[in-house]
């Protein structure tokens, strides 16, 4: 039986597990598009936080694209699974070519999702990095590396579902791992959801716009409150 009805319910459950961070001025929620955005939207809304994205693209083995040999992320971050590359005898030229193509996709999607909004400032902030689940962890690791470049004060990796071993493996790379549902028998992220459709670019843009406008309103209300006080 699935744990969550959909990503919205999963996001609310994740927000409840992160409630200690609610209302902090230095809090930032970063989503991994596309599937992580509906989850992160609920987290940011519940915690009163700014929402932005870290774009990550899987780097597939040339003759088996579904098998990840690494990932590319915002900030020109490149993560390579050297053990897999060595075992399969993948030449460096294939890695270089694949990484170049995926970097172009990352840059295009950042421009599309932000739609002229500036990237959020990460430095010295508490950052909650959100996806809709964790399987192998390669995508999340690339995102973590991208965020670490900007020196956050604290970095939390948060996702509604993941196998226990994956959570343990990730623990050394962040300050905290938050995952409400860790089934021992884990085959795919989708198994934790009743409804797990593909998330469109249009949905990502819509949720990010709503989150930005809501955050701007909260900031303005807070400013006015200080002026009255």
Q: What's the pLDDT tens digit per position in 151-169?
A: 999 999 999 999 999 999 9
Q: Where are the beta strands (DSSP E) in 132-192?
A: 154-158, 176-178
Q: What are 141's two structure tokens?
A: 């690791």
pTM attached to this predicted model: 0.89
Q: How far is CA 208 from CA 34, 43, 75, 112, 214, in A?
A: 11, 13, 20, 11, 10
DSSP letter string, 67-80: EEEEEEETTTEEEE
Give the pLDDT score at 106: 92
Report the DSSP beta bridge partners of residue 28: 50, 127
Rounded to whole angstroms, how far apart are CA atoms 212 and 4? 26
Q: Measured between alpha carbons, how far is 57 from 37 in angstroms, rounded to an integer? A: 15
List the strands of the sheet with 77-80, edge to edge: 56-61, 64-73, 77-80
Ranges under pLDDT 50 in the chain: none
DSSP H or E segment with residue 51: strand 50-53
> For the segment 32-64, what is each residue's pLDDT rounded down to a tens digit?
999 999 999 999 999 999 999 999 988 889 998
Predicted pLDDT at 71:
87
117: exposed, middle or buried (Cβ count in 10 Å: 0-12, 13-18, 19+): exposed
Q: Residue 135 has what pLDDT?
A: 86
CA angle 20, 21, 23 (to 5 degrees): 115
> May I ask the CATH architecture of the domain 7-56+123-228?
3-Layer(aba) Sandwich (3.40)
Per DSSP, the residues of 108-119 read HHHHHHHTTPPP
Query: What is the predicted pLDDT for the residue at 52?
Result: 95
DSSP, collapsed to helix, strand or coil, labels residue 123 as coil
What 3-state class would DSSP assign to 179? coil
């Amino acid at each position: 039986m699935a744990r969550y009805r959909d990503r919205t319910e999963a996001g609310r459950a994740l927000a409840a597990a992160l409630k200690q961070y609610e209302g902090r001025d230095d809090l930032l929620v970063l989503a991994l598009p596309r599937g992580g955005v509906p989850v992160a939207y609920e987290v940011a809304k519940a915690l009163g936080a700014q929402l932005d994205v870290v774009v990550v693209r899987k780097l597939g083995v040339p003759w088996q694209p579904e098998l990840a040999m690494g990932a590319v992320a915002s900030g020109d971050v490149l993560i390579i699974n050297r053990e897999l590359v060595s075992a399969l005898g993948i030449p460096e030229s294939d890695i270089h070519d694949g990484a170049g193509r995926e970097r172009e996709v990352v840059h295009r999607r950042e421009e599309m999702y932000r739609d002229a909004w500036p990237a959020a400032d990460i430095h010295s902030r508490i950052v909650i990095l959100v996806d809709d689940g964790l399987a192998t962890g390669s995508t999340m690791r690339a995102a973590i590396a991208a965020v670490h470049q900007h020196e956050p004060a604290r970095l939390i990796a948060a996702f509604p579902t993941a196998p226990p071993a994956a959570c343990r493996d990730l623990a050394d790379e962040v300050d905290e791992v938050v995952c409400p549902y860790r089934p021992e028998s884990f085959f795919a992220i989708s198994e934790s959801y009743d409804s797990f459709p593909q998330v469109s670019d249009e949905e990502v843009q819509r949720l990010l716009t709503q989150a930005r406008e809501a955050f701007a309103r909260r900031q303005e209300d807070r400013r006015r409150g200080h002026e009255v006080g």
